[in-house]
Structure 1
Amino acid sequence: MSPDDSETVTLATVGSARERADGHLRALVGRDDVALYDDQWAAISALVEERRRALVVQRTGWGKSAVYFVATLLLRDQGAGPTVIISPLLALMRNQIAAAERAGIRAVTVNSTNVEQWDDIHRMIAAGEVDVLLVSPERLNNPGFRDEVLPRLAATCGLLVVDEAHCISDWGHDFRPDYRRIRTLLADLPAGIPVLATTATANQRVTDDVAEQLGADALVLRGSLDRASLRLGVVRLPTAEQRLAWLADHLAEQQGSGIVYCLTVAATQEVADYLRSRGHQVAAYSGQTEQTERLALEQALVNGEVKALVATSALGMGFDAALGFVVNLGAPNSPVAYYQQVGRAGRGAVDSAEVVLLPAIEDRDIWRYFASLAFPAEDLVRQTLDVLAEEGRPMSTAGLEPRIDLTRTRLETMLKVLDVDGAVRRVRGGWESTGQPWSYDADRYARVSAAREAEQQAMIDYLGSDECRMRYLRRQLDDPEVLADPSWTCGRCDNCGGMALSTEVSQAAVGAAAERLARPGVPIEPRKQWPSGLSSIGLGWSGRIKPPAEEGRAIARLTDLGQGNALRELFRPDADGRAVDGPVPEGLARAMVAMLQDWRPQVDAIVVCESERRPQLTTDLAAGLSRFLQVPVVGRWAIVDPDVAPDRGATNSAQRVAAVARRSALRLDAPDAVDDRRVLLVDDRLVTGWTLTLAGVALSEAGAAGVVPLVLGVAG
């Protein structure tokens, strides 16, 4: 055979492989007029023919899932094992399984919602009846899955896919500790098993970090992040009432169905309620929405049965629908996170979608709150390691919680990082110390924190920028196409002149919004269960709280759009970080009266919680309530140990109960002051609820017939 003949055979083979790949793509999308992009084929060829590792950074809707599904079919044709896809969200898994089935791919998932199917799924995998297995990153460190199932999969899988790969990097805007275990999984893979990592939201630093974890030989394919269907704009309105009114007046103008993103769960409920009152078919959606309802709401949005879901970022990665708009009521804390959210719109058959951002001053308060949940300080990490080492046996998160002053969520996240770092190990029954040395990488945590602050400033700059909106976002993502051509403009956004957004709002909508936001009254649900582990720190309470307090009231949450503004201002510290004291502001006093007139609590006496930081505020509040309700103030939940800081243990229920029990005690004006009386228990702010709970228990033990809590505001 001549050299020319050899080259002809090689070219024919390549052509045949690509033709087969194009055929699989057509089956996947259900159309006969499509073919793979060159970069799609480059990635598939690297995976299937060279058995390499590849990182694909491409815009939402580009077709990253087509790469791994087509590669799966080609590899399965060659006798390879099943593809394992590590995917972060159930919504993404559901969409991927549906897409796989269209191409004849047998796909299954192992996640927290289908435990009863795990045994059958493992049997099907062993029998070769599965082409694709989707697992959540959390599964990777489930002891049973990690020790029994994962080694078999790693040895026999034909392709490993890491979807939303920016989550691997702690530089990424949506870093997840469980994703860091993938580094270990990659190192343990047998030679010759290809790996694909995909994401739409990675700047150069994140891309380099993920590529480094894949290995020196990884193929990196970065494409244009322009979304030609999106028209970006910002509407700046000074008040929450006007922003809500803009939504009410202009939502119906938006094409098709879409998403209204809010920064907090409380805001989703508040905004959805207001929009329904203005005649819009909308529903609230968040991480607190029950799973069955979430599925139903997602399907209703896909089917166009609702105009919008008013959602937190829980409706994000993996949700795939042809949406005509995205409106953000409040700015996310980084341009990268914003790019990801707006990427929900303008997909599929939607040629043009409006993307509108309605920023607010209070956005920064919410950013600061989420920033406070960063990796804990070294002393808390060392304390956790010491407790595990001293215990010498596995401890559950619930068992550790009373010993460590962290919320359960932050404690769990920290333990996951320590697990990846090798200092602890998750086993059946909880967590155990490995005894391995561990160092606190303070410099790296500081650099990550600084990067987060820079991202927040970049988001603020986006709001006031006169630069092309899409160019700004692409530049923040280090899009190589824009970096090579800084003069590029989209021609579609409000700054480029391709989009004109009205700032007009009707007085009727503003009035209705003002009335809705000014309406005071948030229920306070009483604590009903003592935290576990109190006996380990010398306290005798356990089980149900008897009797629990009754449902109480607050004017609003500090994160609310209406009265929340006044409450945030009231509790904002001065320039030196000190609490500002004074009487109840007139506006909040009027709101309190309006709430009481609506609520009408039946009480006979008042007991006030003493405050070290705001004594005048709490005293004035109790006196005003006494005058309005015509009932006496008969006692105090008094500070008896001022050496215990007011916020001691505020991040951890067991620690907080211990601190409150030491710091305060009930002091009544007379021994029988609350006998058979219904008591209004008054405080300035509810943070954890344990101060009111312990005071309520003390009042019940002192003879109160009932305890009704009342505070000005609820934190968070």
Structure 2
Amino acid sequence: MTSAPSLGTRAAALAALRELVGRPDADFHDGQYEAIEALVDGRRRALVVQRTGWGKSAVYFVATRLLRGQGAGPTVLVSPLLALMRDQIAAASRAGVRAVAIDSTNAHEWTDVLAQLDRDEVDVLLVSPERLNNPAFREERLPALVSRMGMLVVDEAHCISDWGHDFRPDYRRLRDLIAEMPADVPVLATTATANSRVMVDVAEQLGASTAGGDPGAGVLTIRGPLARTSLRLGVLRLRDSASRLAWLLSHLDDLPGSGIIYTLTVAAAVDTARLLRDHGHDVRAYTGQTDTEERAESEGMLQRNEVKALVATSALGMGFDKPDLGFVLHLGAPSSPVAYYQQVGRAGRASESADVLLLPGVEDRDIWHYFATASMPDRERAERVIGALGDAPISTPALEAMVDIRRTPLELLLKVLDVDGAVRRVQGGWVATGAPWSYDAERYERIAGERVAEQQHMIAYEQTDGCRMEFLQRALDDDTAKPCGRCDNCAGEWFPREIGAAATTQASQSLDRVGVPIEPRRAWPTGADRLDVPVKGRIAADEQAGEGRALARLTDLGWGGTLRTLFAAGAADVAVTRQVLDGCVRVLAGWEWSQRPVAVVALPSRSRPRLVDSLARGLAEIGRLPYLGELGLVGGGPSGQPGGNSVFRLGGLWDRFSADHLEIPDGPVLLVDDLADSRWTLTVAARTLRRAGASEVLPFVLALRG
């Protein structure tokens, strides 16, 4: 039987809430006090699933105030993004809560933060899930912190779940942390984007159960309606990338206030921002590759309405808090309605109306497929990593040199294996635990199947003639869903369709832009000597390649489509078309080299010999340069596959090219290939040509991957 609410707790909680929001008449939303009471009086484990803007942070900051007043230790708040941490610290201070963070950007402050913890001067410690597995933090600080923790909060808790749209392996470790905590320490998990499957999974991770019941059965779940009455949703299907950009050029200033323009790739974000800036729009690009300080600066400019929009990838998502955000526009669709709901939820949180428009692209499915497969562990690779590790710690760079897996996928795989208990991060690197491990093929097949189903649901959202908000609510298993009366299907199209002629020309010109720099390799990879490649440190200046050029990236909005067709799996090896050759000539014409090339040399190609040969001959003929032919192959030529781990790729290329049969002139040589990925092929080939007498080597390729 549930006890009657504590009047003392409610009065104290209401006072803290009003201090937090700065309004003496503020009151709790439905479910807010119930969650606070369960945490403070009941010391329970709770899952709160509520729409963005409902006030989930108020629950944990008010609960922290009350728990600290009862003598409890600090709250540990696990938060996924630095931007979110900054906003949470600012909100905490308004509630009279002393919050500090330990993250990758403030290492110089850690000593002070830890001293504050020791003096019990911290109410909330914000940490990333990755920090929980930092060996020093995990072994030296975490046990003491767990012993006196007043409450654990897991923000953006859908990241715990395999089934969540933004699953992160590091979040999965939280189940181990929760298992070590005393049963009377309250735990709160919050998210705005969880369907029923994710909710069950998260509740199980929280670990509470009733006597003889299922894991998670004892978790209090508070779920509210997810309808966003302020949002006006719409979908505008246009012919191609040029049309979408032209529409944006024509109508960006018509969108209310300031907002976010989401793209699916880094290249699309950077190119779109450049186009808009070039034609007078005050925007900034924001991606995972943007410098941390620049990202913080951009967030602040959007908060203060100093820019019209940030053109962003999903790097700008969870936790970004601008209550008056006027619009969210997508150039290309996210891979699931759940992910889409999470992103559009940034808009209209404290305003009566905000516009949300999706402009899907024909390339969306290819991009979805790439990201879905890139995140899945591979059995053979996993077994290779486990087999390479032992009791002695091995650093990630050293391990990379042993297992032929590139750094980013290797780091992700190590996290998955760590969570599975097969490997462990310690001081100095990684070790094998010796625990039995098997590849859970059934689990990954289920996840892959769910990803495909989510993609189909997103296509259904684009094509539905029913209410779009109702569709998104049902995708999150919200049984309160009903027609919104505001979206384009409920109330008619609210957005214009016409595109200005000047904008069409400007967009087409932007997409037709060619020429991407290829930065030369300056240093040999660590561990090359393990494969009997006798190099280390910096590449000698007289053996380096010069800065190269590619026609375009495979991910580019413009030429990327042409190149993706050319390099598609199973595509025929054909001679270069006149259109592509003309684009390459434009790249060469705009290349500000210090000295014009005096000859052309091609790299021998195993997969596209006709394409590379015709490209090299075509450029030589148009440029009136001698075509010297292909580099020779030694010992059967390169081994292994393009791209891949740097050490293994270098090992497969080392001493496999020869220029002995070519008469290399004294001057710059244009080195032609089809595709650049790791750049080691160009690096080794350039070294061969430099040693044969070329004063400079200028690499040129059709496509740059990524």
TM-score, normalised relative to structure 1: 0.94
Instruction: For structure 1, list consecutive stretches of 5 or more residues without a partner in the other structure.
Output: 1-6, 483-487
* Structure 1 match to 2:650: 657
Q: Which whole-Å CA distance do the structure 1 matches of 2:435 and 2:240 have between them?
A: 54
Q: Which whole-Å CA distance do the structure 2 matches of 1:600 and 1:626 have between them?
A: 18
Instruction: For structure 2, list consecutive stretches of 5 or more residues without a partner in the other structure.
Output: 210-217
Q: Which whole-Å CA distance do the structure 2 matches of 1:142 and 1:190 have between them?
A: 22
Is 1:277 the counterpart of 2:278 in the alignment? yes
* Structure 2 match to 1:572: 568
1:21 aligned counterpart, secondary structure: helix
* Structure 1 match to 2:420: 421
Letter in 2 for 1:559: T
| Residues 71-220 of structure 1: pairs in structure 2 closer than 5 A | 71-214=63-206, 215-216=208-209, 217-220=218-221
* Structure 2 match to 1:693: 683
Q: Aligned-pair distance for 1:284?
A: 0.9
Identify which of 10, 15, 35 aligns with 1:23: 15
Decide whether the 8 Å contact of 2:639 with 2:653 is kept in 1. no
| Residues 341-490 of structure 1: pairs in structure 2 closer than 5 A | 341-348=343-350, 350-389=351-390, 392-482=391-481, 488-490=482-484
Decide whether the 8 Å contact of 1:635 with 1:668 is kept in 2. no
Q: Which whole-Å CA distance do the structure 1 matches of 2:201 and 2:115 have between them?
A: 36
Decide whether the 8 Å contact of 1:612 with 1:646 is kept in 2. no
Q: Which whole-Å CA distance do the structure 2 matches of 1:58 and 1:654 have between them?
A: 48
Identify which of 541, 547, 551 aligns with 1:551: 547
Letter in 2 for 1:523: P
- 1:136-167 Cα offsets, whole Å, 9 max, x none, are 11110101110111111111011100001111
* Structure 1 match to 2:608: 614
Q: Which whole-Å CA distance do the structure 1 matches of 2:583 and 2:108 have between them?
A: 51
Is 1:311 the counterpart of 2:312 in the alignment? yes
Q: Aligned-pair distance for 1:651?
A: 2.6
Letter in 2 for 1:618: V
Q: Aligned-pair distance for 1:276?
A: 1.2
Q: Aligned-pair distance for 1:513?
A: 0.9
Decide whether the 8 Å contact of 1:232 with 1:469 is kept in 2. yes
* Structure 1 match to 2:259: 258
Q: Aligned-pair distance for 1:473?
A: 1.2
Moved more, 153-162 or 32-41: 32-41
Decide whether the 8 Å contact of 1:255 with 1:325 is kept in 2. yes
2:605 aligned counterpart, secondary structure: coil
Identify which of 568, 571, 576 aligns with 1:584: 576
- 1:428-475 Cα offsets, whole Å, 9 max, x none, are 000011111111111101111111111112112221121211111111
* Structure 1 match to 2:338: 336
Decide whether the 8 Å contact of 1:579 with 1:613 is kept in 2. no
Give the number of equivalent residue pairs.
Answer: 691
Q: Aligned-pair distance for 1:587?
A: 1.6
Decide whether the 8 Å contact of 1:636 with 1:666 is kept in 2. no
Identify which of 692, 702, 706 aligns with 1:712: 702
- 1:591-622 Cα offsets, whole Å, 9 max, x none, are 11222222265101111011122111111001
- 1:482-528 Cα offsets, whole Å, 9 max, x none, are 3xxxxx21111111115422221001000011111112111111111
Q: Which whole-Å CA distance do the structure 1 matches of 2:311 and 2:219 have between them?
A: 40
1:528 aligned counterpart, secondary structure: coil
Q: Aligned-pair distance for 1:480?
A: 2.8
Q: Aligned-pair distance for 1:277?
A: 1.8
Decide whether the 8 Å contact of 2:637 with 2:657 is kept in 1. no
Decide whether the 8 Å contact of 2:581 with 2:619 is kept in 1. no
Letter in 1 for 2:338: V
| Residues 224-263 of structure 1: pairs in structure 2 closer than 5 A | 224-263=225-264
2:398 aligned counterpart, secondary structure: helix
1:425 aligned counterpart, secondary structure: strand
Change in 2 beyond 3 A, CA 1:353/1:498: farther
Identify which of 508, 514, 523 aligns with 1:520: 514
* Structure 2 match to 1:299: 300
Identify which of 67, 81, 99 aligns with 2:59: 67
Moved more, 312-321 or 590-599: 590-599
TM-score, normalised relative to structure 2: 0.95
CA RMSD between the two structures:
1.6
1:85 aligned counterpart, secondary structure: strand
Q: Aligned-pair distance for 1:32?
A: 1.7
Q: Aligned-pair distance for 1:209?
A: 0.4
* Structure 1 match to 2:291: 290
2:190 aligned counterpart, secondary structure: strand
Letter in 2 for 1:603: P
Q: Aligned-pair distance for 1:579?
A: 3.6
Letter in 2 for 1:536: R
Identify which of 483, 489, 495 aligns with 1:501: 495
Q: Aligned-pair distance for 1:320?
A: 0.4
